[in-house]
Amino acid sequence: MDRGLRAEKGDYEKTYPEDPIFEEMAPSARIWQAYLDECQTYDAEMVEVWRDTIDVLLVFAGLFSAVVTTFVVQTLQSLQLDFNQVSASLLFELVSVQRALANGTSVDDVPSSQLTPTSSFSPSSLIVWTNGLWFVSLSLSLTIALVAVLTKQWIHHYISVPSGTPRYRSRIRHFRYMGLEKWHVPVIVGLLPLLMHSSLALFFAGLVLFLITLHIGIAISIHADGH
């Protein structure tokens, strides 16, 4: 055991030569060089895990946002009056009036169209909830992508090596690390996957509601598969 300690001490003194007397805290003292080497190893391991997590989230958030946008575009029309349907209804009424005139029957017997450009329109609650859940899911997914990009830029700045003496670089690194703790960057990176899962859950909830309006059996099967 003593041999091992002596070997480690010898390697340390070989890697970091002893400072001249009264120069132990000089700008190029070995304490700063040892600190930088230890921090470099620590930061490399920490940042590597963050980068892997952020890269996966960016790819998934991009693809997921594209999928949700496709669904939102299809159902958004259900929240407003369909003017194509209004035109078809008015055209049918016009044809019915012309037939009544041609047959000599009373025009008053022709039922008037229930759809007009000024008709009040109220979408179903299921459609409203579906679009609401999908809009929240899309907004959350885009927010995650934005935060991931900002975090990736911050990490790149964090590991960049400034110029200057070892003591100056050690202070800069400590300043950056304190900023990392102050802004809770580790917590933010850890929350991003959880927020992505929440966004996915909101999308599936909206999908089940949307399928209920089409076919209750399909909605039940999708709900069962989700669980």
Judge if 136 and 187 occupy the same domain: yes
**Among candidate residues 91, 121, 151, the one where a domain is terminated:** 121
Q: Does residue 182 come out as left (phi exceeding 0), alpha (psi in the -120 to 50 range) or beta?
A: alpha
Tell me: do 46 and 142 sit in the same domain.
yes
Question: Would 226 be classed as within a structural domain?
Answer: yes
Q: Which two tokens stand for residue 221?
A: 């099967």
Same domain, 97 and 147: no
Question: Does residue 139 sit in the same domain as residue 44?
Answer: yes
pTM of the predicted model over 0.75: no
116 conformational bin, left if phi > 0, alpha if psi -120 to 50, beta if neither: beta
Last residue of a domain, one of 58, 93, 121: 121
Domain contains 2: no
Residue 3: its pLDDT value, please?
40
CA proximity to 76, closest of 131, 124, 132: 131
Least confident stretch, 12-16, 19-23, 78-82, 193-197? 78-82
Residues 89 and 136 both lie in one domain: no
What would the mean pLDDT of 3-10 be, rounded to a whole number?
43
In this prediction, residue 4 carries a pLDDT of 40
Q: 98 with 112, same domain? A: yes
Is-contact 126 167, C-beta < 8 A?
no
82: left (phi over 0), alpha (psi -120 to 50) or beta: beta
Regarding whether 208 and 112 lie in a shared domain, the answer is no
Domain that holds residue 69: 36-80+123-227
Same domain for 194 and 109: no
| Of 14-18, 150-154, 194-198, 202-206, minimum mean pLDDT range | 14-18
Burial of residue 219 (number of CB atoms within 10 Å: 0-12, 13-18, 19+):
middle
Which residues, in sequence order, are CB contacts of 68 under 8 Å at separation 6+?
134, 137, 138, 141, 203
Would you say residue 218 lies in a domain? yes
Query: Mind listing the pLDDT tens digit for each residue in 168-227?
Result: 999 999 999 999 889 899 999 999 999 999 999 999 999 888 888 765 555 555 555 555
For residues 83-100, b (16+ Cβ closer than 10 Å) or e, as one string? eeebeebeeebeebeeee
| 14 occurs within a structural domain | no
For the segment 33-54, what is each residue's pLDDT rounded down to a tens digit? Answer: 888 888 998 999 899 989 999 9
Q: Specify the number of domains making up the chain.
A: 2
Q: Do 61 and 152 share a domain, yes or no?
A: yes
Whether residue 189 sits in one domain with residue 144 = yes
